[in-house]
Amino acid sequence: MDHQALSDRIRAEGVRLGLDAVGIIPARPSEGAEAYRNWLDQGFAGEMGYMARYEDQRANPARLLEGAESLIVALQNYNPPEDRAEAAKGPTGRIARYARGDDYHNILHDRLKALLAFLRKEAGQTVTGRVFVDTGPVLEREAARRAGLGNFGKNTNLLRKGPGSYFFIGEILVDIELTYDSPAIRDMCGHCTRCLDACPTQAFPAPYVLDARRCISYMTIELKGDMPEALRPQAGDWIFGCDICQEVCPYNRQAPASQEAAYRPRPGLSAPSLLELLGGTQEDFSRRFRNSPVKRAKRKGLLRNVAVALGNAKDPVALPALCEALRDPEPMVRRHVAWALGRIGGPETEAALREAASAESDASVLEAIRKELP
């Protein structure tokens, strides 16, 4: 078998399938396993307990597949095209660019499955493989760096000249030897610290190190409980994810738009109406965010974020919706609504909070309400 020719055909077919770049590395132990363990030991993963599981597989991808020889790494640009947001009544929120369209897991997984089928056909022999898109214990950014697809930025994202950092990473682990790419060694950042300086919550204790507990993306997606009160003002109008450290990066200034139609923003998601979202039922949430990354936050998580964004906006136009939301079935939502009302203040707010306090049966919500009363 001509491994070089087969590897070249794999890379070309990946691009033909809609992937933006493909690299290949040997399935050997990870170079970043120790640094990853140190990161976990410092508690920087927060409540993301799943990141500590399957440590031996993360340290060595060959343990994920018997006889594994090669790891194919692919990138797909998700940067949405410029989109004129629909005019919304009242305050609006922001959703991270990657989550404004359809769920990337399904899209990228299908492309990788097609590439694996191509490999099996071209190899002319039985090939066993596994596809991963955020779902397996693979240190994907390190794998992409080793495959020559980019290098780490100080905001911990993988940077690539061209699409910058607006791309997803997926992998195919196979039990066939291929020809491998060389690691990216170019320093992408130099003396630039724009991403570190721009982070409103100071989530980077050092360059190339992220404390997820302070990250707006973590707080609005992964965190299942209350958002830390001290960090709520810094969350601004972000209601799902955050792009600040990417938007200020010079590599992303002229990042091309994705050619994948499924990543184009859905109607109303470029600048979603906070009042419309706050008044939505579970049925509304399920219908609107079907096959969307936003569903990961669940309704109560999204409405928690919406309440915080409304509190940060301090727009009195939100008072009727917030007062109504004091009767939301989810205690966590009611606690954050009380905080938002306290940020707006005024006689109407005080009257609504006192009325809600007289009818509230949940002790944690009652405490949150009383905290906002004069």
> Which residues are tagged catalytic?
134
Q: Sort strands 70-77 and 129-132 into parallel, antiparallel or unpaired.
A: unpaired
Q: Which of 180, 155, 309, 181 is nearest to 246 (CA)?
A: 155
Sequence letter at residue 352: A
Tokens of 69: 């020889």
Please state the φ and ψ torsions of residue 357, each to the nearest 5 degrees.
-65, -35
Sequence letter at residue 147: A
Q: How far apart are CA 113 and CA 110, in angstroms?
A: 5
In the numeric block, the tokens 């949430």 are attached to 285
Burial of residue 31 (CB within 10 Å: 0-12, 13-18, 19+) is: middle
**Residue 75 and residue 149 in contact, taking contact as beta carbons nearer than 8 Å:** yes
90 conformational bin, left if phi > 0, alpha if psi -120 to 50, beta if neither: left
